[in-house]
């Protein structure tokens, strides 16, 4: 599956749905972002059931502000409309795959209970 460009206009619609959405906050001028991009694209090709979104922080500063993005690249994982992971840094392939498996394995009822407490 190809990556989806996320903007202030479509972010909530994409992120609030059921399932897993990964978001890569990046910028063209960022070297680590450019190195992470092929890893992210490769993973997107392996996981048809996950939405792989990209937020260009230069074009979408309001999204960066909204989520407190202070360093790029930052990877955010959203499952069933809940942010379950957000970490700056360019991840190697094996670490990205590990994050995906951990997000898949979450008990979302337990996550929601913990958020409400």
| Residues designated as active site | 30, 33
Sign of CA dihedral 79, 81, 86, 91: positive
Q: Are 56 and 5 in contact (CB under 8 A)?
A: yes
Count other C-beta atoms under 10 Å from residue 27's C-beta.
15
Location of structure tokens 């959203």: 78
């Amino acid at each position: 599956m190809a990556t989806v460009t996320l903007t202030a206009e479509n972010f909530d619609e994409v992120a609030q749905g059921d399932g897993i959405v990964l978001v890569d906050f990046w910028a063209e001028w960022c070297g680590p972002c450019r190195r992470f991009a092929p890893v992210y694209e490769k993973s997107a090709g392996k996981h048809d059931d996950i939405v792989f979104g990209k937020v260009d922080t230069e074009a979408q500063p309001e999204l960066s502000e909204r989520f407190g993005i202070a360093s790029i690249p930052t990877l955010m994982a959203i499952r069933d409309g809940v942010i379950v992971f957000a970490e700056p840094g360019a991840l190697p392939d094996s670490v990205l795959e590990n994050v995906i498996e951990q997000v898949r394995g979450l008990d979302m009822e337990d996550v929601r209970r913990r958020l409400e407490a």
